[in-house]
Amino acid sequence: MGFDRRAFIQLITGGTVGILFTPVVWKLLDDVSIWTQNWPWIPTLKYGEKTDRPTVSKICNSGCAVNVRTVAGKAFGTEGNPENPLSRGGICPMCSNGVQLMRSPNRIKTPMVKGADGSHKAVSWDEAMDALTGKLQAAGSSVGFISGDLTGTANEVYSAFVKGAGSDDFFKLPGSNQAASRAWNGLMGGNGQIGYDLPNADLALLVGADAFESWGPTVWNQKAFSDARPMGEKPSCKYVFAGPSQQNTASVCDEWIPLAPEGEAAFMLGVAHSLLQTGMTADASDFNAFKTMVMKDFNPSKVEAAIKVPAASMASAAKQLRAASRPVVIPSGNSVAAHAAAFALNMLLGNLNRKGGMTTVAEFPLVVEGAMTPAETYEKDVVSWFAKGANPDVLITADCNPVYSLPVEVKAGFMVAIATEMNETAAAADLILPAAHPYERFDDLQTPYGVSSAVYTASVPVTDPAFDSMAPADIVLKLADAAGSGLGVESFSEVLMAKAEMIGAEWDDYFGVPSFETEAVAEQNGPSLAARTLAKAAAPVRGTGAVALAPYTMLTVGTDRQATTPNAPCVVSRNQIIGDTMVVMMNSATARKIGVGEGSKVKMAGGTGSAEALVHIYEGVLPGVVAAPFGFGHTVGDEFSKGKGDNVYKILTVTSEAATGASVWNGSTVNVTKL
Amino acid sequence: MEERKASKRCGGVLPFFIGFLLSCIIGWAVIPPLFYTEVEQPVRFSHQVHVEGQGMYCDSCHYFRDDGSYAGFPSNEQCAQCHMVDDPEGVMQAIKDKVGDDYEKVLDLSEEEMPEDLTWLVLSGDEEDRKAELEYLVKYAIPGKQVPWINYQYQPDNVFYSHVAHRDISIAELKESEMDLDGVTVTPIEELEDSEQNCDLCHVKGIATNDTPPPFERNIISGYSKMTMKMWQCERCHAQMGQSNACYVCHK
């Protein structure tokens, strides 16, 4: 018997059949099928302990108290902090995207310097800090600083640093906070930060304040509204909105009084006129002068002629305010006169530091030696500074985007942007320093403007840093050290711990200060009604364009500091943008007058620029007014913001308010041409 | 006729059966082990030392969190409850002073040659245990790195397995029920001892008391563990226990 070809084939056949009776083939097929599901680029989940870490999120201007959800130390979501009175479990649309922003491809990952060709090149932190220290030493006192942080102790560090350099040029971004402070702490001689006790009010007159989508502490406001309007029950608070267009807030208010932005102060004094006629008084040294001024210059028929609001509307508002037990009037915008008029109206209603009224919240004491108080910082008007030709040798911007949002040209010999994301200011800066995201740094949140009681929240880093970044306050502390004007502390965490101790809050190394609230009210020393100033400042001043511009802010679209966030575009409506073109709203009478219709593409020229938009006809806009959203028109940014719409900040008309000297743009007008 | 003769000369169908038999032997006994490569745990962790020697319980390290999720492997923070390194930077510097920047080289030294800042941290008595503990301290605890423990029961991300949902399955009851769980459990039910804890149903028998962890057997193609349960195993047990086998039960 030999082993021939036939035997070989039989052996192989037997082997082949035999292998099918073993697990080899089937196991191989199974393993290969699993292997095809495991490619290296498929993301894998992180496993570990899930925690909710309380922190502060300053992506929105007011700041939110949030819980960051982490797994194995990595952040994956953000929710409102139910234990904090500012949030009570709620969160604004911007801060809800905190994690997405933290991991955004648009994050600044390393320090960068601008080269001769205008492009930015990565450098080490040591190189960047050495370069900046050299510039600061050469600049002497020609140093300016713009902070986008409206609520943090970081401003104490910044302002003390600027003061240490021999400069007074520390600024916050303009807005209602600033106007309120300049009116109350400046003009009227009051103390403390103004708050509005919305949770306990039974009538709220919102004068231009889009309280439920952009003005003030929006989450806190929304919670107050929600509590006052329980489903199926009688509302405990009536809301009246006076403003140029019906956005989210006006659409849920009980009454809308159409009012052009420049007419807010006059409107409120017209209401005050009706109240004074009924014999209402205020405990103020200049009450008689105020009464004389209002009775003479702001009788409702005169005001009606000036601002086109029917006298009956003002009388009705006054009647409702008088009849209410706990009324409160809330102003907005950046007109100091409008804020002073609102505060005078509140004092006339006798609601100062009363339940449901206007409160003067005690400010937390300063902890950094040489720092400016909030009121001192708000006296500094950054728009006016640049308008007068300021061109500091070194300008540092932190957590803000003034190149995009200020309606004036930002100039500096050497500009430094401390920012988390690339934006217009960073792109224009000579030096970019990557700022840690709010979840990656120590930070705090002191009573956001509008909240009626003093609330302090401080946070520790709740997740590992995504990039080689540093908290802006820590950067400035290092600069101060290098410049030899050390502020006596090594890190911002030390500053916050000292702050917590000073105000009596308990600091926890893991949680910071999740929530600390006091009812402390700032003592007053006979505030006035600013009669003399209001006599000159309250008259409406409108630009010369054909149509008044009523810009509005929606947190889903963006603010002066922050472009739209990654998940927000899906809820931005066709009333704000279609495709890449911004949408502006006007009523049919206005459209007819300027010869446009639904969907018309128009060019709006105003201020020093122009913007393109599509027209949407909406009867919720005052005749003669075009409502346009702030927040679009970024030239630098991520895929959600860059090249989307146009920038309304560049078509604002900046004027200096009579008597107060404040930079205002509530009288902005535009000329609209059909394209 | 010539063809038939030739066939007989080759032994008829004998080569076929030889091939068949050889394939079966190779396919059952030789090839299957070649699908796996053995990987040791990063540190020789002795359950025996910790459970029998120190009186620790399984849930001292492998516990359920307040939200019901399972902690799995212990982290450095948990280990630090006993193996605390107060001044890791100081110890690391002491090691670098001894061996230079290639700091793990300290493990090549005898204990007598190691810096005292390191050796006084060691709690173990036996030489082998001290060696393992030093490895843990030098490689993980001092530099603050988590130990990349290897999971014998690794499941992919698309499977949601809840330990807490399976916590109350009783080995004794399974034995009494006479369910057909052949091949479902890692160790046949009848070979398992009745115990308050049922870890042995799915994990290596006796893992809780072994002195040296068994090597992890990694499939060279799929990368999965040899002990990773397949879906049919989950489904069979679910079916026999009267539990739902709907997709969403495990695939969220």
What is the model's pLDDT at position A1? 55
Strand-pair category, A577-578 with A655-656? unpaired
The string of pLDDT tens digits covering residues A346-388 is 999 999 999 999 999 999 999 999 999 999 999 999 999 999 9
pLDDT at B48 over 90: yes
**CB–CB contact A3 B10 (8 Å):** yes
**CB–CB contact A19 B6 (8 Å):** no
**CB–CB contact A21 B24 (8 Å):** yes
What residues of chain A lie within 8 A of the CB of B35, using their CB?
27, 31
Best B4, B16, B36, B62 member to test A by mutation, with max A CBs in 10 Å, is B16
Rounded Cα–Cα distance for residues B233 and B239 (Å):
10
What single-letter DSSP state applies at residue A183?
I
Rounded Cα–Cα distance for residues B157 and A621 (Å):
52
What is the model's pLDDT at position B1? 43
pLDDT at B5 over 60: no
CA-atom Rg of chain B in angstroms = 25
With a pLDDT cut of 70, the percent of chain A lying above it is 100
* CA B30 from centre of chain: 23
**CB–CB contact A12 B28 (8 Å):** no
What is the model's pLDDT at position A488? 84
**CB–CB contact B24 A2 (8 Å):** no
Mean pLDDT, residues B195-205: 86
Q: How far is CA A293 from CA A262, A273, A289, A537, in A?
A: 19, 10, 6, 12
Degrees (nearest 5) of the Cα angle A616, A622, A625? 65
The string of pLDDT tens digits covering residues A380-414 is 999 999 999 999 999 999 999 999 999 999 999 99
What residues of chain A lie within 8 A of the CB of B10, using their CB?
1-4, 6-7, 10
What is the model's pLDDT at position B194? 85
Indicate the residue of A3, A10, A32 with minimum beta-carbon distance to B19. Answer: A10
| Positive or negative torsion for Cα A210, A213, A218, A221 | positive
Q: Which residues of B166-203 are buried (b: 16+ CB within 10 A; e: fewer)?
A: eeeeebeebeeeebebeebbbeebeebeeeeebebbbb
What residues of chain B lie within 8 A of the CB of A23, using their CB?
27-28, 32
Number of residues in chain B: 252
Q: How far is CA B26 from CA A211, A395, B29, B219, in A?
A: 77, 78, 5, 18
A139 φ, ψ (degrees, to nearest 5): -75, -25
In the block, residue with structure tokens 């146009």: A646
Best A32, A49, A51, A70 member to test B by mutation, with max B CBs in 10 Å, is A49
What band does A45 get if pLDDT is binned at 50, 70 and 90? confident
The string of pLDDT tens digits covering residues B78-121 is 999 999 999 999 999 999 999 998 999 999 999 999 999 999 99
Encoded tokens for A123 = 């450098």
Number of residues in chain A: 675
Best A10, A31, A47 member to test B by mutation, with max B CBs in 10 Å, is A10
What is the model's pLDDT at position B3? 47
What residues of chain B lie within 8 A of the CB of A69, using their CB?
none
Residue type, A261: P
Average pLDDT over chain A, rounded to an integer:
95
Residue A511: how many CB atoms within 10 A of its CB? 16
Q: Evaluate whether ipTM surpasses 0.90.
A: no
> Using N-to-C axis directions, what is the helix angle for A472-482 and A492-503, rounded to 10°?
110
pLDDT at B2 over 50: no
In contact, B228 and B154? CB cutoff 8 Å? yes
Encoded tokens for A579 = 């495709």
Best A5, A13, A19, A42 member to test B by mutation, with max B CBs in 10 Å, is A19
What is the model's pLDDT at position A528? 97
What band does B177 get if pLDDT is binned at 50, 70 and 90? confident
The string of pLDDT tens digits covering residues A214-253 is 999 999 999 999 999 999 999 999 999 999 999 999 999 9
The three-state (H, E, C) secondary structure of chain B, written as one string: CHHHHHHHHCCCCHHHHHHHHHHHHHHHHHHHHHCEEEECCCCCCCHHHHHHHCCCCHHHHCCECCCCCECCCCCHHHHCCCCCCCCHHHHHHHHHHHHCCCHHHHHHCCCCCCCHHHHCCCCCCCHHHHHHHHHHHHHHHCCCCCCCCCCCCCCCCCCCCCCHHHCCCCHHHHHHHCCCCCCCCCCCHHHCCCCCCCHHHCCCCCHHHCCCCCCEEEECCCCCECCCCCHHHHHHHHHHCCCCCCHHHHCC
Strand-pair category, A443-446 with A454-459? antiparallel
What residue of A is the nearest CA neighbor of B17? A14
In contact, A440 and A101? CB cutoff 8 Å? no
B64 at the A interface (CB within 8 A)?
no
pTM: 0.86
Closest chain B C-alpha to A23 CA, distance in angstroms: 7
Indicate the residue of B16, B157, B219 with minimum beta-carbon distance to A14. Answer: B16
Encoded tokens for A243 = 């403003």
User: B3 or A571, which is more confident?
Assistant: A571
Indicate the residue of A3, A14, A19 with minimum beta-carbon distance to B27. Answer: A19
What is the model's pLDDT at position A206? 98
What band does A3 get if pLDDT is binned at 50, 70 and 90? confident
Question: Of A523, A502, A358, A379, whose CA–CA distance to A444 is shortest?
Answer: A502
What band does B9 get if pLDDT is binned at 50, 70 and 90? low
Strand-pair category, A255-258 with A238-243? parallel
The string of pLDDT tens digits covering residues A563-621 is 999 999 999 999 999 999 999 999 999 999 999 999 999 999 999 899 999 999 999 99
**CB–CB contact A13 B16 (8 Å):** yes
Q: How many CB pairs under 8 A join A and B?
A: 106
Task: Report all structural domains of chain A as residue ranges with CATH numbers, in order of start.
Answer: 5-36 (no CATH), 50-102 (2.20.25.90), 112-174+363-518 (3.40.50.740), 193-358 (3.40.228.10), 541-674 (2.40.40.20)
Q: How far is CA B62 from CA A50, B44, B71, B98, in A?
A: 16, 17, 6, 37
**CB–CB contact B18 A49 (8 Å):** no
What band does B8 get if pLDDT is binned at 50, 70 and 90? low
Best A20, A22, A51 member to test B by mutation, with max B CBs in 10 Å, is A22
What residue of B is the nearest CA neighbor of A27? B32
CA-atom Rg of chain A in angstroms = 29
Half-sphere exposure of B172 (CA within 13 A, CB side): 5
DSSP character string of A285-318: TTHHHHHHHHHHH--HHHHHHHH---HHHHHHHH
B67 at the A interface (CB within 8 A)?
yes
Burial of A353 (0-12, 13-18, 19+ CB in 10 A): middle
Average pLDDT over chain B, rounded to an integer:
90
Mean pLDDT, residues B198-212: 87
Indicate the residue of B11, B27, B71 with minimum beta-carbon distance to A18. Answer: B27
What band does A72 get if pLDDT is binned at 50, 70 and 90? confident
Residue A109: how many CB atoms within 10 A of its CB? 13
What is the model's pLDDT at position B11? 57
